[in-house]
């Protein structure tokens, strides 16, 4: 393979991963896989056709795409004013590999409990936790995606995590020795 082919392959793989992550965010915000797919497709089209969009290989493309996905998702939520629950395969993966089946079952149950708790958060809280803890965006990238200051990201993330913690405690989940 030539350097150009290697580079093209790398960009293609990064784009596929970015698209999957954008879909994951959209489906978690919208709770509807069909709407999420439409949001991601139209967002990618906008990214490829918009003169102000960063190039696919530019480090700013992923935060830019997530901003568009988030905004389009919020538009749909406002238009539909609904938040039904839907199962999403990425968050319902098979039981983690563990040496003990009981441990694997506990891990799967905890993951499902956390997913259910996330669904109880409001959209602002859910999206900031998803961007930081599921998609590993930096505070600066989250600030760009949400259109807020970095300090606001940190305080909103803290409040969202505290709300998630409260939900989990109310469900009887033991967190760090507290219940």
Joined together, the tokens standing for residue 60 give 């700013």
Domain ranges, ordered by start, for the chain? 1-82, 100-174
Can you tell me the mean pLDDT for 9-20?
Answer: 86
The contacts found for 139-148 with CB under 8 angstroms, 24 or more apart, are: 141/62, 141/63, 141/66, 144/63, 144/64, 144/67, 145/63, 145/66, 145/67, 145/70, 146/67, 146/70, 147/67
Task: Enumerate helices (H) and strands (E) in the chain, giving the number of each.
Answer: 7, 0
Average pLDDT over the chain reads 84
Residue 63's pLDDT is 93
The answer to whether residue 54 scores a pLDDT higher than 70 is: yes
Joined together, the tokens standing for residue 158 give 């803290």
Are 71 and 78 contacting, i.e. CB atoms less than 8 angstroms apart? no
Residue 176's pLDDT is 66
The answer to whether residue 127 scores a pLDDT higher than 80 is: yes
The answer to whether residue 179 scores a pLDDT higher than 70 is: no
Residue 78 CB: number of other CB atoms within 10 A?
A: 8
Residue 103's pLDDT is 77
CATH 1.10.10.10 fits 100-174, yes or no: yes
Q: How confident is the model at residue 128 (pLDDT cuts 50, 70, 90)?
A: very high
Q: How confident is the model at residue 177 (pLDDT cuts 50, 70, 90)?
A: low
pLDDT in tens, 144-156: 999 999 999 999 9
Q: How confident is the model at residue 38 (pLDDT cuts 50, 70, 90)?
A: very high
Residue 95's pLDDT is 45
Residue 25's pLDDT is 92
Q: How confident is the model at residue 72 (pLDDT cuts 50, 70, 90)?
A: very high
The CA distance from 43 to 58, in Å, is 16
Residue 158's pLDDT is 97
Which of the pair, 9 or 98, is modelled with greater confidence? 9
């Amino acid at each position: 393979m030539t350097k150009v082919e290697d580079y093209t392959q790398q960009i293609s793989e990064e784009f596929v991963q970015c698209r999957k992550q954008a879909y994951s965010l959209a489906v978690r915000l919208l709770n509807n896989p069909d709407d999420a797919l439409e949001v991601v497709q139209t967002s990618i089209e906008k990214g490829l056709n918009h003169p102000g969009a960063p190039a696919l290989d530019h480090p700013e493309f992923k935060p830019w795409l997530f901003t568009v996905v988030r905004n389009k998702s919020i538009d749909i939520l406002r238009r539909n004013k609904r938040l039904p629950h839907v199962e999403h395969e990425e968050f319902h993966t098979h039981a983690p590999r563990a040496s003990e089946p009981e441990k694997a079952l506990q891990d799967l149950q905890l993951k499902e409990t956390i997913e259910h708790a996330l669904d109880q958060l409001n959209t602002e809280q859910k999206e900031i936790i998803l961007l930081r803890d599921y998609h590993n965006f930096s505070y600066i990238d989250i600030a760009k995606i949400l259109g807020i200051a970095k300090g606001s990201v940190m305080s909103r993330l803290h409040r969202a995590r505290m709300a998630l913690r409260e939900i989990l405690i109310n469900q009887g989940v033991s967190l760090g020795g507290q219940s």
